[in-house]
Amino acid sequence: MLRDRLAEAIQLRETGRAKQDQAILEEARTLLLELVAAYPDDAEITYQTAIVHDNLGLERESISFYIQTLEQGLSGLDTATKLMKRERAFLGLGSTYRGLGEYQKAEETLRRGLSEFPQSRPLQVFLSLALYNTQQYREAMELALTNLLETTSDETLQYYKRGLLFYTAHIDETW
């Protein structure tokens, strides 16, 4: 029963997100709030509740759910994003803080996520945005450019990759 209701809520949330349909997202939110009230210690329910608030643009409301789900020891793979759920929770919380102008909290959260998921490109790129906002331009550029150059299939950028990676690491230097 519980897992069926949770699966229904997740399906509603994913459908609402894909269609950008606020009514469907609200329906998912209502169901998830009922579930989280009944099962406050269930990390998966808390996680889905955080995400639905984010999907609805209710960032401030999502924060406590993200924090709670991280404290609850969330685990497993998020099939929609192919990220680990805990990794996505760090990403959601850090991005939310950044979007609300809480840049220091965003940086701290994203760095904490990277300490657990050091290879996470999404965490690195979102951290580069937060670093830009905290005027840490060198590290922001280094993260953004490194991720771009390591993932692009653009042949012209690949041709210059070695030189660009060198310049990225020495961005403040002149010759």
In the prediction, which pLDDT does 101 show?
97
The enclosing domain of 112 has a CATH number of 1.25.40.10
| Residue-number span of the structural domain to which 62 is assigned | 1-74
Report how far residue 7's alpha carbon sits from residue 1's, in angstroms, rounded to the nearest whole number: 10
The three-state secondary structure class of 84 is strand
Strand partners, 83: 78
Output the tens digit of pLDDT for each of the chain's 175 residues.
889 999 999 999 999 999 999 999 999 999 999 999 999 999 999 999 999 999 999 999 999 999 999 999 999 999 889 999 999 999 999 999 999 999 999 999 999 999 999 999 999 999 999 999 999 999 999 999 999 999 999 999 999 999 999 999 899 888 7
Question: What is the structure's pLDDT at 21?
Answer: 97
Residue 33: give its domain's CATH number.
1.25.40
Give yes or no for a contact between 31 and 12, defined as CB atoms under 8 angstroms apart.
yes
> How many domains does one find in the chain?
2
**What secondary structure does DSSP assign to 58-72, as a single string?**
-HHHHHHHHHHHHHT
Residue 89 shares a structural domain with residue 175:
yes
Tokens 């608030």, residue located: 53
Which residues are CB-contacts of 107 (< 8 A; sequence separation ≥ 6)?
A: 94, 127, 130, 131, 134
